[in-house]
Amino acid sequence: MTTEQILAEYFASQSDKAKGLGETDSLLERGLLDSMAIVKLISFLEDRFGVQLSDEEFDPDNFETLKAIGALVEAKRPKG
């Protein structure tokens, strides 16, 4: 399962708005991300993928789509 597929399942478990969500669909335009949803997402990313995000990475572009979040996670994942 790809990172994007895991993220799609996560969003589907959080909201009916995620039905049919594609890798490049805007999460903001779909109404899937607000301040509370981002806090929950960050916690999920840290727990599920073992990543730690720096303040500089809290850029809206990094959270616009499943593909963008997936790229961020893959760049931050521990190597080994």
- Please report, for the chain, the start and end positions of each structural domain, with discontinuous segments joined by +: 3-76
* Residue range 1-6: mean pLDDT, rounded: 95
Q: Return the pLDDT at 28.
A: 93
pTM over 0.85: yes
CB contact burial 36-71 (16+ within 10 A = b; e otherwise)? ebeeebbebbeeebebeeeeeeeeeebbbbbebbbe
Q: Return the pLDDT at 35.
A: 87
Classify domain 3-76 by CATH number. Answer: 1.10.1200.10
Tens digit of each residue's pLDDT (9 = 90 or more) over 11-55: 999 999 999 999 999 999 999 999 899 999 999 999 999 999 998
